[in-house]
Amino acid sequence: MVGLAFGDLRLAIAVSSAIVAAGRWRRTIGLLLPWVLQRSGHDPAFGADRWPTILQDVTSLIVYFGLATLIVR
């Protein structure tokens, strides 16, 4: 849709690859953080609290803007 809306193939590639990369990162954080907390003797429910969500959101934005900068340049 981005390629059709804006007519820029590089932008479409940047957006789609950033969505895939951010989704994989979010899944990794969502799986590993509770596991690491449990293994370290803490309550794994803290891995689903607001702080991991903030971490996922901020790192997803960093991934998105980083990939967009690399591809669109």
Per DSSP, 57 falls in state H
Report how many domains make up the chain.
Answer: 1
pLDDT, residue 40, reads 94
- Per the prediction, the chain carries an average pLDDT of 84
pTM above 0.85, yes or no: no
2: confidence class by pLDDT, cuts 50, 70, 90: low
Residue ranges making up the domain that contains 63: 2-72
CA dihedral 52, 54, 60, 62 (to 10 degrees): -120
CA dist 12 and 2 (Å) reads 5
pLDDT in tens, 9-40: 888 888 888 889 888 988 888 888 889 989 99
pLDDT, residue 31, reads 87
